[in-house]
Amino acid sequence: MNNKTDKKLAISPPWITYYNEINELFKDDPDVMVKYNEDDYSIKLYVDDSDKAFALSILLPPEKTFGNIVVKTTVVPPNLAEEPDIQLFERAFKNNPVVDFIKAGLGPFGDISYVVFKNKVVQFFNDNLSDLNGITSTLYENIATDVFEQRDGVFFCTNTEA
């Protein structure tokens, strides 16, 4: 039998899905290491680049509530300050291969910016009962929408070119 299909499937809690999504966004980024502590439901992002750490500490919510579970997210080293949102995303995704480019411009109703992700299906194990192997398949833009707080005039999308 196929080893992958023999696994006993359970249902991943939403806080594990949240960790998986953050990890998928940054697992190929040489400046970021993501760790989850199941004892206290905390996620730490260890960031080598101070600009990137600064941006992520502002963009990622410090807490996310899933029913009675509160997941705390910490960026190490943390820095807090104000900066235009699109510049924060530029810092946060600097040298990260999951982003193809970031485009800022003026739209009909003000500033509009796009974080354009690679045209790639992202898959990770998530005890997904609707998948034979328990895998969740999604796009980086969907993960970013789940992970980051909504920012006025900043949108996530997928490049049309492979």
The neighbour count for residue 31, using CB atoms within 10 Å, is: 19
CA distance 32 to 48: 7
Q: Does residue 138 form part of some domain?
A: yes
Q: Does residue 28 form part of some domain?
A: yes
What is the domain count for the chain?
1
Q: Does residue 64 form part of some domain?
A: yes
Q: What is the pLDDT of residues 89-120, one digit of tens each?
A: 999 999 999 999 999 887 776 789 999 999 99
pLDDT of 44: 95
Q: Does residue 3 form part of some domain?
A: no
pLDDT of 84: 72
pLDDT of 78: 45
pTM equals 0.68
Q: Does residue 6 form part of some domain?
A: no
Angle at 55 between CA 110 and CA 89, to 5 degrees: 45
**Amino acid identity, residue 67?**
G
Domain hosting residue 82, numbered range:
14-158
Residues 6+ apart with CB under 8 A from 132: 5
88 in the Ramachandran plot: left (φ > 0), alpha (ψ -120 to 50) or beta? alpha
Q: Does residue 66 form part of some domain?
A: yes
Q: Does residue 59 form part of some domain?
A: yes
Taking 50 as the pLDDT cut, the residues of the chain under it are 1, 78-81
At residue 79, φ and ψ (nearest 5 deg) are -140, 140
Torsion angle, alpha carbons of 33, 29, 105, 81, to 10: 30
